Amino acid sequence: MSENAAQLLAQVQERIAKACAIARREPADVTLVAVSKMHQADAIVPLLEAGQRVFGENRVQEAAAKWPELKARYPDVELHLVGQLQSNKADEAVALFDAIHSVDRPSLVTALGKAMDKAVANGGRRVPCFVQVNVGAEEQKGGCALADLPALLDQAREAGLPVIGLMCVPPADIEPAPFFALLDKLARDHGLEGRSMGMSGDFETAIMLGATHVRVGTALFGSR
């Protein structure tokens, strides 16, 4: 398994390097977030052993069940929340994660702002955040509407959230490039460095259009 994990990791890193070469970017400027949701520790450890250090989880409860022990063994791991976050889990999320990719509504901004104020008062830190944008205007998806983005960014900054970029999940089964290009433009317009976009099937396209963080699960862990 560990050899297989190392092999899969090397393949993904090679794909990232090739996409960066075409885009005339440095591979070091793209963070690979290994999405380990629904995978237990025994599937994650081989990737840790192969050198992967940034992981993504979709749910606070699932991450809380498996990561404290893994982080004790691999203290240099960064854990990113890439799934939707309920406002009532803000305190837990701030304590557990090193970045939050799914800030998408005023109530969550308020909850995270309070949670980070509390954390700082107790010697903790503010957690870097991405604001999630619903680039495909899909009703069932998280992410703020394009029209609401400026106000949400203003509110996040006022609440003391360190906003480092934007995140999107393009509509399924449609060419993702226009949506990645849109997120890139929005990030530029708002002076933001980070672009969390691209998954196993399309991260090369995302890299060519400016992705700084790619969220890869299946290509590293195999199909569930």
State pLDDT tens for residues 21-61: 999 999 999 999 999 999 999 999 999 999 999 999 999 99
Domain ranges of the chain: 2-221
List, for residues 100-121, the tens digit of each pLDDT value: 999 999 999 999 999 999 999 9
Q: How many CB atoms lie within 10 A of CB 218?
A: 13
CATH number of 2-221: 3.20.20.10
Structure tokens at 140: 């069932």
The owner of tokens 């008062």 is 121
Q: Are 149 and 131 in contact (CB under 8 A)?
A: yes
Task: Determine the Cα–Cα distance for residues 129 and 125; give it in Å rounded to an integer.
Answer: 12
Q: What is the mean pLDDT of residues 61-68?
A: 96
CB 9 within 8 A of CB 52: yes
What's the pLDDT at 142? 87
pLDDT at res. 145:
96
